[in-house]
C-alpha cells in the first residue's frame, strides 16, 4: 500500500514538472479569437436572430450591400458588396442591380440573380417563417405577406435584375440588404423543414469567410475564402469564435491575450483591462436603453375584456412625471455603469446627431418636486406608514424584473428605494425571461423594468403608435393622437427639414408626457487586442468588415 502511494505521488510530481516545462506553445499568429458568451443556434440567415448569429452568417453569406457608420452625422451610408452597383430610377420606385462577376459559392457554382430572387422568396414565404417575414411592406405582396415575385422582380440576365417597389412607398437600400442564399442548395429542402435542415450547421456560402469547424458549445472556426474578392493578401486567415459562458473566465482570457475581441464587458472591469498594455477599450454607444415601464392602461380590465381604461396609478401623465423625478438615474449610471452610458431623454438615440433635439434635458432628480406633484394629485400619507394613499387605495405595486441581467437587477433595487422615499411601495418580483416577456407582451404588469435595442435606421412607429397592430411594441399602450399623426407623416416621403421638425415635435411630446420613465442609454463595451488593425467598432457592430482586419 505504501509503495503504491509513493509510486502514485512520484507520478503526479513528474507530471507537474513536465507541465511547467511544456507550457509555451506556438500560437497561430494569423488568427483573431473572438469571445462569445453563448453558442449560436444556427448559421442560417433565415433564422439568425442574435447578434453573433447575424455577424457570422453575414461573413459566410454576402448581402447585396454593406453599411458604414458616419459618426459625425450619425447616419448610415451603404456601399456595394455582392452588387457591383445599383441605380434607383427617378421616382425611387425601382432599382436596377448589377451583381459582381467574380463571386462563387463554396461548391463552385457562380452567384446569379436567380439566387437573389430565390432568397427574397424564402425570406417572405409564410411557410418558412424567416426572421424577415412580414417586413417587406414596400414590395408588392400577396395577401399572405409573401412577395409577389412576378410583380417585384425582373431578371435581366444572370448578373442583372430589377426590383420594383410599390408606388407611394419609401424604399431604401435597407429593403434589399438581406444576405443572399444559394438557390441550388436551399431548394433541395422542403420549405417547412428548413429550420431543422443540415444547412443550419453546414452552410454553403459565397462570403469572405467559410465555416471550417463548429464544435457545439465550444468554438466556431472560420477560415478565409481565398477566392473572395474581399479577401486581400494580408487579411486575417482564421477567425475563431470561442464560446465561454462564464464571464469571469472570458475576462481572464482577454487579460491573458487568449481572446482578442469580446463585447459586453462589465463596467467594473474596464479599469483593470485598460491597464493592460495590449488591450484597447472602445464603446458602442446608443443602441440599447433601459426604462421603467408604467402601464398607461389598467391591466385587469384589459385582460378581462380588452377594454382600454386608464391605469389608476399611471394613467395620469403628471404621476408618471413624478415617478421620473424620483428616480436617481444618475447614481445608477455613475455607480453601476461607471459612466459607460448616457442619461436618456427620448427614445431617439443620441448617436443620431442630426435628429435629436439638444435643447431637451434629462429629467432631474428632485424628490421635493415629485412629492409635491403627488400631493397635488391627491396622494398623501394619512396613516404614517410611509406609503401614500388616495381614496383609501395605497400606492403599493409589484415591480417586475427579468432575471439574468445584472444591470436591471441592480437598478430595480435602486428604483424601489428611490420610490420609497416619496411614499410609493414596490415589491420586486424577478421572473425568468421567458415568463417575463410573455406577460409583458400581454400587458399584465403595472410597472416593470425592461429595455429595448433600437434599430438602425431610426424606426419609431412600432414603439409609440397607439394602434396595436402598428405599434406592436407600445407595451404601455400610450395613446396620443398628435403623436400618431407625426409618426404617420414620418413614414411618408418628407423633406429633410420637415423630418427634423417632426422629430422635434415628437421628442417634445414624449419628454412632457413621459409615457415610460426612461433610464439611460447603455454603452456596449468592447475589449480588443491592439494587434488587430482596421477594427470597426461603432454602433453597427464590432465584428464587421472582417476582411479588412490585419494582424500586425
Partner 1 sequence: MIRKFYIWHYVVFITSAIFILRFQEVLNSFTLLYYSIVCFFTVENFFINYYSFSQLDQILSPIILFAILVLVILKRNRWKFLSSRICFSNAMLIVLIFTFLLTPLIAPYNPNLQFNLSVSKLLSPFSSKKIGLIVDYSDDNYTPTKIEKYIHFKSIFEREVVDENYFLADSIITSNDINIYQRNTEITLPNGSNLKTQNALFIFGTDEFGRDIFSRLIYATRLSLFIGALAVGITFILGLILGFISGYFSKLIDGVLNRFTEMLVSVPTIFLVILFLAMFGNSLMVVIILLGSAGWMSLFKIVRGEVISIKNKNFITSSKLIGMSNWKILINDFLPLLLPSIIVNLVFQFANVIIAESALSFLGLTGNHLYPTWGAMIHQGQFYLEQAWWIVLLPSIFLISTLIVIYDFGRKFELKEI
Partner 2 sequence: MGYRIKMNNSWFKFSKRLLSYVVTLFLLISIIFILLRISPGDPVQKFISPDLHPSVAEKMMHEFALDQPLFVQYGNFIKNLLSGELGFSYNFRQPVSSVIGTALPFTLLFSLTSLIFQLAISISLVTYVSKRKGNFLDKCLEKLSLGIYSVPTMLIGLMLLYIFSMKLELFPSSDLYSLDYPYFSFFEKMIDIIWHMTLPLITLSLPGTLIFYHYLKSNVDISYRKNFILFLIANGKSEKEIFSKHVLPNSLSTLISVVGVELGILLGGALITETIFGLPGMGRLTVNAILLRDYPLVMGAVLISGIFVLLSNFIADIIKINLNKRLKAEIL
Say if residue 420 is exposed, middle or buried (CB neighbours under 10 Å; 0-12, 13-18, 19+).
Answer: middle
Q: What is the enclosing helix (H) or strand (E) of 411?
A: helix 406-421
Output the smallest distance, CB 440 to partner 1, in A.
Answer: 17
CA-closest candidate to residue 475, choices 286, 326, 314, 285: 314
Residue 434: contacted member of partner 2, partner 1, none (CB under 5 to 8 Å, by partner type): partner 2
Residue 396: phi and psi, rounded to 5, are -130, 125
Buried b (16+ CB within 10 A) or exposed e, 12-44: eeeeeeeeeeeeeeeeeeeebbbbbeebbebbb
- Return the residue matching grid coordinates 391605469: 311
Selected from 7, 25, 306, 495, the binder of partner 2 by CB under 8 A is 25
- Cβ proximity of 33 and 261 under 8 Å: yes
Residue 3: other Cβ atoms inside 10 A: 7
Q: Does 147 bind partner 2 (CB under 8 A)?
A: no
Instruction: For residue 404, give the 3-state DSSP assignment.
Output: coil
Q: Does 462 bind partner 2 (CB under 8 A)?
A: yes
Selected from 3, 7, 49, 91, the binder of partner 2 by CB under 8 A is 49
Region of 134 (left: φ > 0; alpha: ψ -120 to 50; beta: rest) is: left
Q: Hey, what's the cell of 309?
A: 381604461
Q: Does 429 bind partner 2 (CB under 8 A)?
A: no
CA-closest candidate to residue 378, choices 324, 419, 318: 318
- Rg for the chain (alpha carbons), in Å? 27
Q: Does 129 bind partner 2 (CB under 8 A)?
A: yes
Q: Does 536 bind partner 2 (CB under 8 A)?
A: no
Q: Does 438 bind partner 2 (CB under 8 A)?
A: yes
Q: Does 1 bind partner 2 (CB under 8 A)?
A: yes
Q: Does 217 bind partner 2 (CB under 8 A)?
A: yes
Q: What is the enclosing helix (H) or strand (E) of 19?
A: helix 2-21
- Cβ proximity of 57 and 43 under 8 Å: yes
Q: Does 249 bind partner 2 (CB under 8 A)?
A: yes
Region near partner 2 per CB under 8 A, out of 84-92, 107-115, 215-223, 388-396? 215-223
CA-closest candidate to residue 339, choices 408, 265, 411, 267: 267
Output the smallest distance, CB 194 to partner 2, in A.
Answer: 11
Selected from 32, 42, 395, 516, the binder of partner 2 by CB under 8 A is 42
Output the smallest distance, CB 288 to partner 1, in A.
Answer: 21
Q: Does 457 bind partner 2 (CB under 8 A)?
A: no
Measured from the CB atom, the residue of 108 and 384 that comes closer to partner 1 is 384
Q: What is the enclosing helix (H) or strand (E) of 325?
A: helix 317-326
Measured from the CB atom, the residue of 5 and 277 that comes closer to partner 2 is 5
Instruction: For residue 452, give the 3-state DSSP assignment.
Output: strand
Residue 406: contacted member of partner 2, partner 1, none (CB under 5 to 8 Å, by partner type): partner 1
Q: Does 275 bind partner 2 (CB under 8 A)?
A: no
Q: Does 7 bind partner 2 (CB under 8 A)?
A: no
**Interacting residues with partner 1 (CB under 8 A):** 268, 331, 334-336, 367-368, 383-386, 403, 406, 410, 413-414, 417-418, 420-421, 428-430, 432
- Return the residue matching grid coordinates 433601459: 290
Instruction: For residue 182, give the 3-state DSSP assignment.
Output: coil
CA-closest candidate to residue 362, choices 340, 342, 344, 348: 344
Q: Does 416 bind partner 2 (CB under 8 A)?
A: no
Region near partner 2 per CB under 8 A, out of 131-139, 165-173, 275-283, 355-363? 131-139
Measured from the CB atom, the residue of 50 and 309 that comes closer to partner 2 is 50
Instruction: For residue 329, give the 3-state DSSP assignment.
Output: helix
Residue 428: contacted member of partner 2, partner 1, none (CB under 5 to 8 Å, by partner type): partner 1
Q: Does 472 bind partner 2 (CB under 8 A)?
A: yes
Output the smallest distance, CB 258 to partner 2, in A.
Answer: 5
Q: What is the DSSP string of 352-373?
A: -TTTS-TT--PPP--HHHHHHH
Selected from 87, 142, 188, 216, the binder of partner 2 by CB under 8 A is 216
Q: Does 245 bind partner 2 (CB under 8 A)?
A: yes
Residue 545: contacted member of partner 2, partner 1, none (CB under 5 to 8 Å, by partner type): none
Q: Does 26 bind partner 2 (CB under 8 A)?
A: yes
- Cβ proximity of 251 and 269 under 8 Å: yes
Q: Compute the residue count for the chain.
A: 552
Residue 129: contacted member of partner 2, partner 1, none (CB under 5 to 8 Å, by partner type): partner 2
Selected from 170, 195, 343, 414, the binder of partner 2 by CB under 8 A is 195
DSSP annotation of 229 reads T
Residue 1: contacted member of partner 1, partner 2, none (CB under 5 to 8 Å, by partner type): partner 2
* Residue numbers at the binding site for partner 2 (CB under 8 A): 1-2, 5, 15, 18-19, 22, 25-28, 33, 39, 41-42, 49, 126, 129, 131, 133-135, 145, 195-196, 200, 216-218, 242, 244-246, 248-249, 252-253, 258-259, 403-404, 432-435, 437-438, 441, 455, 462-463, 472-473
Amino acid at each position: 500500500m505504501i509503495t503504491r502511494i509513493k509510486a502514485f505521488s512520484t507520478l503526479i510530481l513528474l507530471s507537474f514538472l513536465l507541465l511547467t516545462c511544456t507550457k509555451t506553445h506556438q500560437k497561430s499568429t494569423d488568427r483573431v479569437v473572438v469571445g462569445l458568451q453563448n453558442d449560436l443556434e444556427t448559421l442560417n440567415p433565415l433564422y439568425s436572430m442574435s447578434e453573433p448569429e447575424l455577424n457570422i452568417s453575414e461573413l459566410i453569406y454576402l448581402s447585396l450591400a454593406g453599411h458604414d457608420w458616419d459618426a459625425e452625422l450619425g447616419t448610415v451610408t451603404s456601399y456595394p458588396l455582392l452588387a457591383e452597383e445599383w441605380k434607383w430610377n427617378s421616382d425611387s420606385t425601382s432599382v436596377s442591380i448589377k451583381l459582381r462577376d467574380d463571386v462563387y459559392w463554396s461548391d463552385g457554382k457562380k452567384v446569379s440573380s436567380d439566387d437573389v430572387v430565390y432568397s427574397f422568396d424564402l425570406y417572405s414565404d409564410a411557410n418558412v417563417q424567416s426572421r424577415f417575414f412580414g417586413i417587406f411592406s414596400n414590395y408588392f405582396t400577396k395577401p399572405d405577406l409573401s412577395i409577389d415575385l412576378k410583380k417585384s422582380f425582373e431578371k435581366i440576365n444572370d448578373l442583372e435584375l430589377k426590383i420594383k417597389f410599390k408606388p407611394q412607398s419609401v424604399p431604401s437600400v435597407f429593403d434589399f440588404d438581406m444576405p443572399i442564399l444559394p438557390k441550388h442548395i436551399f431548394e433541395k429542402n422542403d420549405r417547412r423543414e428548413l429550420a431543422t435542415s443540415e444547412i443550419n450547421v453546414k452552410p454553403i456560402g459565397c462570403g469572405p469567410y467559410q465555416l471550417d469547424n463548429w464544435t457545439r458549445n465550444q468554438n466556431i472556426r472560420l477560415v478565409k475564402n481565398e477566392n473572395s474578392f474581399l479577401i486581400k493578401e494580408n487579411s486575417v486567415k482564421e477567425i475563431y469564435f470561442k464560446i465561454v459562458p462564464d464571464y469571469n473566465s472570458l475576462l481572464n482570457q482577454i487579460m491573458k491575450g487568449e481572446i482578442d475581441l469580446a463585447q459586453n464587458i462589465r463596467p467594473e472591469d474596464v479599469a483593470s483591462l485598460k491597464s493592460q498594455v495590449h488591450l484597447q477599450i472602445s464603446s458602442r454607444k446608443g443602441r440599447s436603453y433601459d426604462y421603467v415601464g408604467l402601464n398607461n392602461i389598467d391591466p385587469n380590465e384589459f385582460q378581462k375584456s380588452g377594454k382600454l381604461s386608464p391605469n389608476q396609478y399611471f394613467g395620469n401623465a403628471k404621476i408618471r412625471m413624478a415617478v421620473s423625478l424620483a428616480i436617481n438615474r444618475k447614481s445608477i449610471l455613475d455607480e453601476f455603469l461607471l459612466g459607460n452610458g448616457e442619461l436618456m431623454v427620448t427614445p431617439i438615440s443620441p448617436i443620431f446627431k442630426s435628429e435629436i433635439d439638444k435643447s431637451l434635458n434629462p429629467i432631474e432628480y428632485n424628490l421635493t418636486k415629485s412629492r409635491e406633484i403627488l400631493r397635488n394629485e391627491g396622494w398623501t400619507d394619512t396613516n404614517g406608514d410611509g406609503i401614500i394613499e388616495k381614496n383609501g387605495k395605497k400606492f403599493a405595486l409589484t415591480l417586475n424584473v427579468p432575471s439574468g441581467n445584472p444591470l436591471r437587477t441592480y437598478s430595480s433595487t435602486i428604483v424601489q428605494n428611490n420610490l420609497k422615499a416619496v411614499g410609493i411601495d414596490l415589491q420586486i418580483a424577478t421572473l425568468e425571461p421567458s415568463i417575463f416577456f410573455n406577460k409583458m407582451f400581454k400587458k399584465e404588469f403595472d410597472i416593470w423594468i425592461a429595455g429595448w435595442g433600437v434599430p438602425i435606421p431610426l424606426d419609431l412607429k412600432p414603439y409609440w403608435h397607439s394602434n396595436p397592430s402598428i405599434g406592436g411594441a407600445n407595451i404601455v399602450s400610450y395613446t396620443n393622437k398628435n403623436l400618431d399623426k407625426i409618426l404617420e407623416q414620418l413614414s411618408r416621403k418628407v423633406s429633410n427639414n420637415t423630418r427634423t421638425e417632426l422629430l422635434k415635435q415628437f421628442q417634445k411630446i414624449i419628454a412632457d408626457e413621459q409615457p415610460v420613465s426612461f433610464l439611460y442609454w447603455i454603452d456596449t463595451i468592447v475589449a480588443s487586442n491592439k494587434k488587430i488593425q482596421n477594427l470597426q467598432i461603432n454602433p453597427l457592430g464590432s465584428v464587421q468588415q472582417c476582411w479588412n482586419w490585419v494582424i500586425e
